[in-house]
Amino acid sequence: MKTLAAGDTPAGYYYSAYAFCTPEHGGTHLDAPVHFARGQRTTDQVPLGQLVAPAVVIDVSAKASAASDASYRLTVDDVREFERRHGRIARGTMVLLRTGWSRHWSDRKAYFGDDTPGDASKLRFPSFGPEAAALLVRERGVQVLGVDTASIDYGPSNDFPVHRLAAAGNVVGLENLTALEELPPTGATVMALPMKVRGGSGGPVRVVAAVPSYAGAPATGRDVPFVIPAAAAGARLGEPGVVFLHLGVKAGYDEAHIPGARFIELAAISRPRRDGDPLRLELADATSLVATFEGLGISDGTHVIVYFGKDWATPAARVFFALDYLGLGTRVSYLDGGLPAWQAAGLPVTSEAPAPAPRGRITARLNPAALADFASVREARTAPSTSVVDARDTQFYSGEDDAQGRYPRPGHIAGAVSVPFSTLLTPSGHFKTPDELRAIFRDAGIGEGDIVTSYCHIGQQASLVYFVARMLGHEARLYDGSFEEWTTRPETLAPIEKGTSQAASHGRK
């Protein structure tokens, strides 16, 4: 850096100014597509929307450290394993690869694998593999590939296939990143703002991330309970920042509800059903969900207490699922026993409609892995440490009941275990104890660390299994199409079994 001025001025104040010169591709920097593809975007032409986007972090640090030649490359299997755990990578996402290599930054030889001046043939460091990059760029439609090493191609590369593939798709590269261990696998928003060099092939970049308190992780870091007893909920009645949501029949709500509670029905959080749509209960899109919950006075910091009016235990869990999908699950409690438990505790009810709620403000931090689709359930059936769980009553699981002809192929998803939703509750509608719930999961063949994907007829009963799985610390997903979709698919793609026996391998693959 050249000093142009530094010191006190004749007017008595201090002034300094400097000039600097830097290569485009040194330090933490951006690779514009034109770097490896003639006619593609230059640094100043990369849209801002491509540089401020949701990010996922794929962690291969253990594999990179174990590689004998320090040249591990991300594989297609690595990407699919990530998606099995966290959901399909969405179009427009930034994919950041954590190899752990930034820890070597202060040691040039360790970071690059060699320090021979002018000789790049001996470089050794991990990065993306071309097959994985092709999957991410061509099939997933990601916008950015970033890595905590010197290049999005691994050290020994001399033909740079990942650079060329990315550039052809106008995908940006970010190199020499650091602190990726501080980001969650999903949920962060990354902002990569380069020096806007007109016509440049890259440039220095400042990369920062907004990290939500919830990013799709299992139940940790909560500051409200999953299940709240009536007495504890009653103590919060009337407090600012607390919203009660009532699930049930509107006539029942009009007759008696918790003072100030807002009425919500499943239609408000469901996708409108169009003519010819075979699926009856599908979660609404994120924009619609945000509008619905904001209209009920809910904001990011609101403590939501959801309860059922009579015996609507599963719809209440469905509301939890919708909020969890938006990234608000850590702020939601389920009133144990619903309105009957509230009234049995001598707490007040009213028939008066509450005043209109001031509109809330929600910043959606989607947990896309929570919403399982047909393809992800097919993969989950045979994935290790994963349990597909049927929440329907046993006569549907066994195939004895075809739901009055609704199921062309009765039975259950091959490999699924049975946990009827009703077994999770006492006759009074309270949740069983955590130890009892763990025993139910264990007896069904669900491992303590398993990812739990629940389904039922249409996705409603499965919401209760989803809620309990989250409460017990599992990563949880809900197959929204459920058996209503699975049973209509060909047997070759969607195998079905009958009977009630649950082989040990079903829950422990």
The residues assigned a catalytic role are 456
State the Cα–Cα distance between residues 228 and 112, nearest whole angstrom.
Answer: 54
Strand residues in 127-241 grouped as ranges (E): 127-128, 144-147, 172-175, 188-194, 202-210, 227-228
d(CA 3, CA 374): 62
Query: Can you tell me the distance from the alpha carbon of 46 to that of 171, in angstroms, rounded to the nearest whole number?
Result: 9
Label the pairing between strands 188-194 and 29-31: unpaired
Backbone angles phi, psi at 256, to 5 degrees: -160, 125
Strand ranges for 445-501 from DSSP E:
451-455, 476-479, 496-497
What stretch of H or E contains 267? none
Q: Which residue from 454, 427, 459 is spatially nearest to 441, judged by alpha carbons?
A: 454
CA proximity to 172, closest of 95, 88, 275, 57: 95
Which amino acid belongs to residue 25? H
Report the number of secondary-structure helices (H) and strands (E) in the chain: 17, 23
Residue that the structure tokens 């009532």 belong to: 246
> Amino acid letter at 226?
F
Judge contact between 418 and 499, C-beta under 8 A.
no
**Length reported for the chain:** 509
CB atoms within 10 A of CB 497: 16
Catalogue the E-assigned strands of 261-382. Answer: 262-264, 303-308, 332-335, 371-372
Considering only CA atoms, which of 358, 338, 357 is closest in space to residue 349? 338
Q: Report the phi/psi class of residue 165: left, alpha or beta, with left for phi > 0 and alpha for psi in -120 to 50.
A: alpha
Record the tokens describing residue 254, joined without a space: 């009009």
Q: Is residue 115 within 8 Å of 214, Cβ to Cβ?
A: no
End-to-end CA distance of the chain: 59
Question: Which stretch of DSSP H or E encloses residue 235?
Answer: helix 230-235
H or E element at residue 368: none
For 57, the token pair is 């972090």
Place of tokens 């006075």: 297
List of E strands, 377-447: 386-390, 412-413, 417-418
